[in-house]
Amino acid sequence: MSVATTMQLALRDAFHRRDAPGHALARDSTRIAAACRDMAGRFRRGGKLIVFGNGGAGADAAHIAVEFLHPVIVGKRALPALALSNDAATVTAIGVREGLAETFAHQLASWAGPHDIALGVSRDGRCPNVLRALRTARDLGLLTVALLGGTGPDPAPDGGAHADADHLLLARTADPDVVKEIHVTTYHLLWELTHLFLDHPDGPADDPAEDSAENAAEDTTRDTRAHPRPAPPPEPPCGDTCVTCSDQATPVTVVRLLHGGLALADTGTGTEEISVALVDATVGDTVLVHAGEAIAVVTKGAHHHGRH
């Protein structure tokens, strides 16, 4: 066969290989919806998203974090998210001293709060550090989501991902390139549908993992002692623009404080729910809001009620 013919065959084969796994994603719609419902529940309680993966999946972790933190859709709230694989200095330091398998679990134990979400990405479902971090996350009471790939009913026979993930989302192909492509669509949906549940006024406050974590109080206490986790307050940004994207921020007045770091704010044209998790705002304060997140207190108001 001529080179031109084999290139045509290779092209046709490459696109054909993507069809079946692409269609298979639609069959996971129930699992994806359930994961988003539970993720929205965690964000509503003030939880953050912690993402991790190796190699190209580490790039996916960064993509997921920026997707939640700085949405492409204007007006969607910035949600707290962090990619552990971005920190090359810490990852390589842990890797060289304690071994690569310890990398994400170590970082997670220092960063995690009980309302958080751990999202691990592994294209073959076998990455030891991803599986270990998911187990650590579950022990600490986090909601755990695994984005895996492979074929057959049990893609990771030696891994504990099945036992350690509340939500297991699987790209059904052995080709790691195609796994990535299915994962990209999956995490775009995770972002979009999490906001759908957040926007919905009657959304759930609880999820199964949350319940089990609260019931297992002794375990949580033990883990807290084993991994003291002081929560450093985020540095408040200042100025009237967003520090991450330079977009203009809008001043609004806090009308009422709600649970989970949220508040009702008077925008001048109506009332909107905003997040005040990053600032110390009380009723009457004027705060600067960007993408639904208050980023600074401009003026303290007349009322100084505590949060309730």
Interaction site with other proteins (CB under 8 A): 3-4, 6-8, 10-15, 18-19, 22-23, 25-26, 28-30, 32-34, 36-37, 55-56, 59-60, 62-63, 66-67, 70, 72-73, 123, 175-178, 180-181, 184-185, 188-189, 192-193, 196-197, 199-204
Are 47 and 115 in contact, with CB atoms under 8 Å apart?
A: yes
Q: With respect to other proteins, which residue has the nearer C-beta, 177 or 240? A: 177
Question: What is the smallest separation between the CB atom of 177 and other proteins, expressed in angstroms?
Answer: 4
Question: What is the smallest separation between the CB atom of 275 and other proteins, expressed in angstroms?
Answer: 20
Q: With respect to other proteins, which residue has the nearer C-beta, 35 or 283? A: 35
Distance CA 8, CA 29 (A): 34
Distance CA 80, CA 118 (A): 12
| Residue 159 DSSP symbol | -
Lay out the sheet containing 49-53: strands in order across: 81-83, 49-53, 117-122, 143-150, 167-172
Question: What is the smallest separation between the CB atom of 179 and other proteins, expressed in angstroms?
Answer: 9
Half-sphere exposure in the Cβ direction for 49 (13 Å, CA): 31
Question: What is the smallest separation between the CB atom of 228 and other proteins, expressed in angstroms?
Answer: 29
Phi, psi of 90 (to 5 degrees): -70, -45
Distance CA 135, CA 118 (A): 10
Q: With respect to other proteins, which residue has the nearer C-beta, 56 or 251? A: 56
Question: What is the smallest separation between the CB atom of 123 and other proteins, expressed in angstroms?
Answer: 8
Q: With respect to other proteins, which residue has the nearer C-beta, 62 or 257? A: 62
Question: What is the smallest separation between the CB atom of 54 and other proteins, expressed in angstroms?
Answer: 10
Question: What is the smallest separation between the CB atom of 184 and other proteins, expressed in angstroms?
Answer: 5
Q: With respect to other proteins, which residue has the nearer C-beta, 204 or 234? A: 204
DSSP 223-247: HHHHS----PPPPPP-SSB-TTT-P
Joined together, the tokens standing for residue 253 give 């007045």
Question: What is the smallest separation between the CB atom of 227 and other proteins, expressed in angstroms?
Answer: 28
Contacts by residues 224-230 (CB-CB < 8 Å, ≥ 24 positions apart): 227/109, 227/110, 227/140, 229/109, 229/110, 229/111, 229/112, 229/113
Q: With respect to other proteins, which residue has the nearer C-beta, 26 or 302? A: 26
* Strands 143-150 and 167-172, sheet pairing: parallel
Q: With respect to other proteins, which residue has the nearer C-beta, 10 or 231? A: 10
Residues 9, 10, 12, 17, CA torsion sign = positive
CA dihedral of residues 72, 76, 79, 85 (deg, nearest 10): -10
Q: With respect to other proteins, which residue has the nearer C-beta, 76 or 227? A: 76
